[in-house]
Structure 1
Amino acid sequence: MIVIGLSNWITSFDLSSKERIPRISSFSSPSTHSSTSLMKEIRCVVCGDQGVGKTSIIVNLIKTDFIEVVDHCLPEVVVELDNNLHLIDTSTLNLERELKKSNVICLVYSVADPNNHENIQNWLLYFKSIGINNPIILIGNKIDLDCPSYSLHSDITPIMKQFKQVESCVESSAKLSININEIFYFAQRAVLYPTAPLYDSRLHTLKPASAAALSRIFKLCDSNKDGLLDYTELNAFQMKCFNSPLSDGDLRDITQLVSQHSPQTISTLPDNSIALTQLGFILLHTIFIQRGRLETTWSVLTNFGYAQDLRLKEDFLYPDLHIPPNSSVELSPQGYSFFTEIFEKFDVDKDGALCESELEELFATSPGNPWLNNGFPDTTLTDEKGAVTLQGWLAQWSMTTLLDHKTTLAYLAYLGYEMASAHENATTTSALKTTPPRRRSGDRGALQRNVFLAYIIGAPNAGKTSLLRALLNKPFAGGGSVGSSSGGSVLNAVNAVEMEGGEKYLVAQEVVDFADVAGGSGSVSGKHAKGKPATTHLPHLHKADVLVLAYDCSDATSFAHLTHLNSIHNLDGLDTPCVYVATKSDLDLAQQRSDVQPDVYCRRRALNVPIAVSVQAGETAGLFQYICSVASTPLQALPRQRRGRNVVNALSIALTLGAGSIGILAFLARVYGWRSPTSLLLSTYRGALLWARSWLTHTHTRTKGKLPSGFAGQLQQRGAPIARGQLLCGEERATTANPILGLGHEDMWTLHGLWPDRCDGSYPQFCDNSMQLHNITSSLLAAGETDLYQAMSTVWLDNRGHNEHFWQHEWNKHGSCYSTLKPACQADSSESGSENVDTMIDYFSRILNTYNRFPTYEFLANRGITPSSTHTYKLADIKHALKEAFGYAPTIKCDGGGNKVHEVWYSFNLEGPLVSGTLLPREQVSADSCSQDVYYLPKHQSRNKHSASAIPLLLILHTSALFLAQFQP
């Protein structure tokens, strides 16, 4: 057999086995180890000048015999193989049509007719003129006839060099049955294993695309990332591609072969074994191709997912993954394991983070970093240098899988998941899993999900981006940005959140397209700036697990933005749980210019009222844990659900029973002549109301479910947001303050707080985020502390009536700093999160008990000092009166230019723990801030007189040395 291919003679020896290639007796490829067929149907058109033996060749293949007289043109013949071979005989009638449907062309000429030799070029030019660029096999038929003028080298080789689509040339004889099988083997192989995509026969080198593909395969097989393929790695490569092990002799033959061309093709390892370099790997395949072993290289490419255009196949990058409706996609344990392993491999400096250069090397086998246009790495957790940590790396892939699982599938393929998998025939789909379907309205248990999606919605400057930064544990940046999508419409952040039962990933997206329908100052306009009707360019909000609706509680117009958005987009009707968040609680609280105030607005929808947070002050009060809890059990935060109806039903039952009882008792009193039924009637009605309250609490608690890990107070709704500075009202506030709101009794001072202080006057704050709580009221009532709650509601008051948030602030800022009140000091409890609640109860109880020991109003009244809007007192007289009762002169704080008494600070030394220790009075630590003559105003005095303050008088229980000092309002 004589075959011309490429620029040199194709040998008839198998490179690895050193055995001769057997004569082809069937049409299956001799490379039986190729696991993937590139095509299922191959159409081979046989054409040429009249009388060259086209039909005789096909007949000989079928009959294995020569027939003198044959039909002018045979019908289509199909040889059934793994790749069915369709043999098409041609005539002038069907030639062009069949050529355009062909995969390969067998161009037959007669070696005995010189005119046929010359006409080969005409045929090749004709193919080009009609747009045919398929591989071509030249068949020199009738070699049984003598033709001295014919020379394969002089006549055919120049043609093969000129027309690169000519794969090979086979000399045959239909009469003597010479090389008939080989003709169609080479035709089949030209389709399955074409030369043109791989090799440039003019330059005698691999084409750039094939060299790049083989380089990528080398990097994927280099499991230890040392730039070499040792025996273990080559054997794994051999098993994947050819399903047969590599012997020591095979490795030796390979290394000897490539080293003959360049010493840079191999390298000696420390154990004196030989490894193949990337150059050697590419050179090896170049030799295979030059020697006609294209099936070997194509088998490698096919097993690594490449198509004939040397691009990764679509079904390799994006295999089918069935996702049930209302289900999401997450990484499976195998997926997390793979991404962890690849992180550790490319963390060259072993610092626990991937820097830019390490990421670039990691993504070298892919089109590049998939998140470059999404603000990465600012979307996830990084170290102080901006390098992505392992937690951030896994979180980023968790977010990618949730939002676009096809990207994860593609990158699993790009990064070599199948090569790295310990399971044979593992596919990238095994790295993912689908979650059980979500049915929010009917979900009473926890959702079986590990990754949750929250959309953060709000007016411009509402603090949405700051919430994302807080999720990433990044410092407050005052409007700093996090990751943005290429369209600029969504900002992303993801991080792990510790929850009961394990870690959850929270994906938070700031949706900024809502601004398209917003007018200035938080109002919503019905039209865009260009006058077009307002349209929605929003993500599919129903896909979110939680909607986080944020507003700036210091901006009077911010909440109105949310109410307008709800009315336009019907957020309540999405069947998606909602969490309202009041941001910037460290600033002065503003009355919202909305038809309904935030707390009332939420209660009408049976939702928890807004959670007050301050990212700048580090107060997040377990917000992200709460969001994950809501996502896990959405029924607790669905607008207008059963919980809202329970309130109405309970009150209706109470009123009905009360009215019915009164009616019955009134009737009995009249019948039996009872003279004084009033007390009995009132007692009965009060009992009905108490029963309704008890039933309502039970229903409410049952609906809410178990407290989640890490924070308490989810059983009841919260009060309106409170800012850190709202207790000391400025001049502009007094005129709008409700004169009967939260000031307490006229003959008592209200309580401010108790906190630790250092001897230098500084103080710690927000010491332990794990101790932060919100919903103080519900936590107290759930623990049965009704007396404590009643006492706090009487004397520990916020001047605007937002007691709940005042208490929350005092606990999160100061209570978390008492080391002796850590949860570990409390008794064991079976309820998750109850340790912090017990600590909080002890803290508040001790403060109330201490407060009751020092009735400031009584101390002053005993010395004839009573509130007056016209009379002033000497500061020294006030301090003397309090010193007589306390033992030491306390600190007196004034506002309004220093002439209105505002606060009294009692200072103590603490012996032992706060709960059971002794508070010993001591001299004042901080200086007074008052003039010599001061007003001691009545609580409800109007500021129109003497610019007097209408704020409550506050008792500051101030400890020194061991504990924090004053609250800065």
Structure 2
Amino acid sequence: MAGGSVGNASSSGSHSVVRVVVAGDRGTGKSSLIASAASESFPENVPPVLPPTRLPADFFPDRIPVTLIDTSSSLENRAKLNEELKRADAVVLTYACDQPLTLSRLNTHWLHELRRLEVKVPVVVVGCKLDLREERDTMNLEQVMSPIMQKFREIETCIECSAANLIQVPEVFYYAQKAVLHPTGPLFDQENQCLRDRCRRALRRIFILCDHDLDGALNDAELNEFQVKCFNAPLQPAEIVGVKRVVHEKVPAGVNQLGLTLTGFLYLHALFIEKGRIETTWAVLRKFGYDDDLKLRDDFLPVPSKRASDQSVELTSEAVEFLTGVFRLFDTDNDEVLQPSELDELFCTAPESPWYEAPYKDAAERTDRGEVSLNGFLSQWALMTSLDPQLSLANLVYIGYGGDPNSALRVTRKRSIDRKKQRTERNVFQCFVFGPKSAEKSSVLNTLLGRPFFKNNSTTGDRYAVNVVDQLGGSKKIVILREIPEDGVKKFLNNKEFLAACDVAIFVYDSSDEKSWKKSKDLLLEVARHGEESSYGVPCLLIAAKDDLDPHPVAVNDSVKVSQKLGIEDPIPLSKNIFSRIISAAEHPHLSIPETETGRNRKQYRHLVNQSLIFVSIGAAVAVAGLAAYRAYAARRSSSS
């Protein structure tokens, strides 16, 4: 793996042009540096501040144009300087080699100023006027800059140049451009001198993809294929031998009798970066679809973008079959569950495990030791696919989904069409759980997960629970419960399309508490009105919680009356099998949709208007036919006379 230069713009990240701002004390040679780079000669007369200067795309190997921004350090131009620094992709800080004070000013002023302005871009420190430094004034640049670079990690490199003698002038802006297009920060921890975790994970995935025979090593043919894919040039046999020798000398475990191991592969990339050839590693990462954040680019993830708000996204049977196989593969002890360590190993080629944060953390069924069953595993994927299809598809690809990415996800039919056809083809149902705080809505989520309590790690107040529910006849459906905070309902209902993502709305109340029932009833009526006004009416179910306590007579009687008046099912005790009832309501989306008095009047009015329009259209048709008959009769009379 000899590496190579990046040959096209698509391999250089998302930048179409790199904006480099040149700053520093007055008289340090900023303008002369820019003018010399642009003209490749030393101009005699340079204005105090140059206008923006563009270096063409073919100026550097990456073929990305660079715009150089000159600045003034005077107090009256401070606002303009700050504005330019905040728009920079990279900053070149200059000092004059013949003025030592300007070098110390970088440490005491300029670098602190960049941090104050929160300018978080690569910095290249440049000593100008190298030709004016006295010969006896020798300075070890590395020795002087090392402690400064330790303090200010944003400094990518230091270089000294002479605009008058054209010494290392293009290199200044090459390093600045390189720092933007091939940043060190995401790949390498300078302090600990090692690859960052996300970089290791990406390279590990690439190694596995290139290890076609899955023997844990890249043989000569696989190494050569990798080299051609990334750099469009094969390795000579002597080069392969040389690469292996270098690796074996430093890390013996990096090479075995089969070829280059993962340890050796990672060592080589760390070596490239340490030797200043970070563009080699970036070329590899970008060839395999990674962006500057070491995540797969959008063009590698064909997620269906055109879908209505009442359509959802599910995994296809092909993707579910793949995930089932992955579960079996990583269940190394065959105990029918994945331990946390096995889950970590499964996601070791992803940027990170996607299930450690809300809303996924604790949303699926797990044992006390954090183990996940196959049902819990597939449920978690269903939840991620429903909430964030792109994240789900990306993680499928990270863990080795080899099929066409287009075949992994499917968009469901619109809920409005499901209602007309009176059936649905969905396998995953998302249900919103409403109710007052006193009703203990979380008990419904607990029941789905088989837990005595529910952990809430969400900072937004929303909670999710998801699980597979077995149906009569052996079919399986996945139910996602989303708990809606009582104090957030009004905010949610301000969004006209809030209910579009909901298959069934569940209203929980404490059957032993009249106040709890009244609050839940108010929420039900509010949601019903919203559904009628937004045309996103959804099946609604009432769930009577705490049914082991003495029921309150008003809650019992009034809840039945309200159900009948709205045209929905009678309340269901939580102790019953509520999830089969939930699935039944979701599978028959035309039923159990509450109808308020206002909704009925509106519906009756539309019916009358439609009837009137039909009557008018029939009357108009009769009139037109009569007129035509009269004209025919008049024409016959005229011809006979």
Taking structure 1 as the reference length, the TM-score comes to 0.47
**Alignment pair present for 1:390 and 2:367:** no
Once residues 21 and 329 of structure 2 are traced to their aligned partners in structure 1, the CA distance between those partners, rounded to angstroms, is 51
Once residues 336 and 518 of structure 2 are traced to their aligned partners in structure 1, the CA distance between those partners, rounded to angstroms, is 45
Once residues 316 and 206 of structure 1 are traced to their aligned partners in structure 2, the CA distance between those partners, rounded to angstroms, is 32
Deviation of the 1:298 alpha carbon: 3.7
What's 1:547 paired with?
505
Q: Deviations over 1:922-964 (max 9, x none)?
A: xxxxxxxxxxxxxxxxxxxxxxxxxxxxxxxxxxxxxxxxxxx
AA in 1 matched with 2:67? H
AA in 1 matched with 2:478? Y
CA contact (8 A) 2:161 2:169 kept: no
Once residues 197 and 369 of structure 2 are traced to their aligned partners in structure 1, the CA distance between those partners, rounded to angstroms, is 33
Change (3 A) 1:348 1:195: same
- Give aligned pairs, total: 561
Deviation of the 1:635 alpha carbon: 1.4
CA contact (8 A) 1:288 1:296 kept: yes
Change (3 A) 1:163 1:198: farther
Once residues 422 and 137 of structure 2 are traced to their aligned partners in structure 1, the CA distance between those partners, rounded to angstroms, is 86
Once residues 224 and 517 of structure 2 are traced to their aligned partners in structure 1, the CA distance between those partners, rounded to angstroms, is 62
Aligned pairs for 1:269-308 (under 5 A) are: 272-278=257-263, 280-300=264-284
AA in 2 matched with 1:443? K
In structure 2, runs of 5+ residues without a counterpart are 58-62, 150-154, 532-536, 605-641
Deviation of the 1:85 alpha carbon: 1.3
What's 1:730 paired with?
none
CA contact (8 A) 1:399 1:494 kept: no
What's 2:423 paired with?
446
AA in 1 matched with 2:566? R
AA in 2 matched with 1:16? A
CA contact (8 A) 2:156 2:179 kept: no
CA contact (8 A) 2:129 2:163 kept: yes
What's 1:481 paired with?
453
AA in 2 matched with 1:356? P
In structure 1, runs of 5+ residues without a counterpart are 1-14, 22-28, 517-533, 650-969
Change (3 A) 1:548 1:50: closer
Q: Deviations over 1:642-673 (max 9, x none)?
A: 9x99xxx9xxxxxxxxxxxxxxxxxxxxxxxx
What's 2:123 paired with?
135
Deviation of the 1:388 alpha carbon: 2.1
Deviation of the 1:593 alpha carbon: 4.0
Aligned pairs for 1:140-219 (under 5 A) are: 148-149=135-136, 151=138, 154-164=139-149, 165=155, 167-172=157-162, 174-175=164-165, 179-195=168-184, 206=193, 210-219=195-204
**Alignment pair present for 1:263 and 2:252:** yes
SS of the aligned residue for 1:136 comes to strand
Deviation of the 1:48 alpha carbon: 7.2
Aligned pairs for 1:559-958 (under 5 A) are: 562=517, 565-567=520-522, 569-570=524-525, 571-573=527-529, 574=531, 575-580=537-542, 592-593=553-554, 596=557, 601-609=562-570, 615=576, 620=577, 624-640=579-595
CA contact (8 A) 1:221 1:237 kept: no
AA in 1 matched with 2:502? A
Once residues 92 and 551 of structure 1 are traced to their aligned partners in structure 2, the CA distance between those partners, rounded to angstroms, is 67
Change (3 A) 1:577 1:234: farther
What's 1:84 paired with?
65
Change (3 A) 1:36 1:419: farther
SS of the aligned residue for 1:130 comes to helix
Deviation of the 1:196 alpha carbon: 6.5
SS of the aligned residue for 2:50 comes to coil
Once residues 282 and 437 of structure 2 are traced to their aligned partners in structure 1, the CA distance between those partners, rounded to angstroms, is 56
Deviation of the 1:290 alpha carbon: 2.7
AA in 2 matched with 1:398? A
Once residues 200 and 608 of structure 1 are traced to their aligned partners in structure 2, the CA distance between those partners, rounded to angstroms, is 61
Aligned pairs for 1:87-98 (under 5 A) are: 87-89=68-70, 93=74, 97-98=80-81
What percentage of aligned pairs have identical amino acids?
26
AA in 2 matched with 1:635? H
SS of the aligned residue for 1:107 comes to strand
What's 1:105 paired with?
92
Q: Deviations over 1:60-85 (max 9, x none)?
A: 44444555555555332112435431
Deviation of the 1:212 alpha carbon: 2.1
CA RMSD of aligned residues (A): 5.3
Deviation of the 1:289 alpha carbon: 2.3
Once residues 34 and 329 of structure 1 are traced to their aligned partners in structure 2, the CA distance between those partners, rounded to angstroms, is 30
Deviation of the 1:276 alpha carbon: 2.0
AA in 2 matched with 1:506? V
Deviation of the 1:625 alpha carbon: 4.2
Once residues 265 and 55 of structure 1 are traced to their aligned partners in structure 2, the CA distance between those partners, rounded to angstroms, is 49
CA contact (8 A) 1:220 1:416 kept: no
SS of the aligned residue for 2:157 comes to strand
CA contact (8 A) 2:504 2:582 kept: yes
What's 1:791 paired with?
none
Once residues 234 and 350 of structure 1 are traced to their aligned partners in structure 2, the CA distance between those partners, rounded to angstroms, is 35
Deviation of the 1:155 alpha carbon: 4.2
Of 333, 336, 340, the match for 1:352:
336
Q: Deviations over 1:525-568 (max 9, x none)?
A: xxxxxxxxx9879896674322345679xx7x479954662245
SS of the aligned residue for 1:158 comes to helix
Change (3 A) 1:569 1:44: same
SS of the aligned residue for 1:397 comes to helix
CA contact (8 A) 1:440 1:576 kept: no
Structure in which a larger fraction of residues adopt helix:
2
SS of the aligned residue for 1:16 comes to coil
Which one has the largest radius of gyration? 1
AA in 1 matched with 2:126? L
Change (3 A) 1:592 1:322: same
SS of the aligned residue for 2:479 comes to strand
Once residues 541 and 186 of structure 2 are traced to their aligned partners in structure 1, the CA distance between those partners, rounded to angstroms, is 57
Once residues 612 and 146 of structure 1 are traced to their aligned partners in structure 2, the CA distance between those partners, rounded to angstroms, is 88
What's 2:465 paired with?
492
Change (3 A) 1:98 1:505: same
Once residues 362 and 557 of structure 2 are traced to their aligned partners in structure 1, the CA distance between those partners, rounded to angstroms, is 40
Change (3 A) 1:95 1:186: farther
What's 1:507 paired with?
480
Deviation of the 1:379 alpha carbon: 3.5
What's 2:635 paired with?
none
SS of the aligned residue for 2:114 comes to coil
**Alignment pair present for 1:220 and 2:205:** yes
Once residues 545 and 178 of structure 2 are traced to their aligned partners in structure 1, the CA distance between those partners, rounded to angstroms, is 69
Change (3 A) 1:30 1:444: closer
AA in 2 matched with 1:606? G
Once residues 409 and 546 of structure 1 are traced to their aligned partners in structure 2, the CA distance between those partners, rounded to angstroms, is 25
CA contact (8 A) 1:35 1:242 kept: no
CA contact (8 A) 2:543 2:571 kept: yes
Deviation of the 1:16 alpha carbon: 1.2
SS of the aligned residue for 2:429 comes to strand
Change (3 A) 1:394 1:92: closer
CA contact (8 A) 1:35 1:303 kept: yes
CA contact (8 A) 1:456 1:548 kept: yes
Change (3 A) 1:157 1:566: closer
Once residues 590 and 92 of structure 1 are traced to their aligned partners in structure 2, the CA distance between those partners, rounded to angstroms, is 78
**Alignment pair present for 1:331 and 2:321:** no
Taking structure 2 as the reference length, the TM-score comes to 0.68
CA contact (8 A) 2:442 2:483 kept: yes
SS of the aligned residue for 1:188 comes to helix
Of 375, 388, 402, the match for 1:422:
402
Q: Deviations over 1:334-359 (max 9, x none)?
A: 65456445434432223432123322
Once residues 359 and 133 of structure 2 are traced to their aligned partners in structure 1, the CA distance between those partners, rounded to angstroms, is 72
What's 1:16 paired with?
2
AA in 2 matched with 1:131? L
Deviation of the 1:250 alpha carbon: 5.7
Q: Deviations over 1:219-266 (max 9, x none)?
A: 434649999554498778768865777787665443322221132333
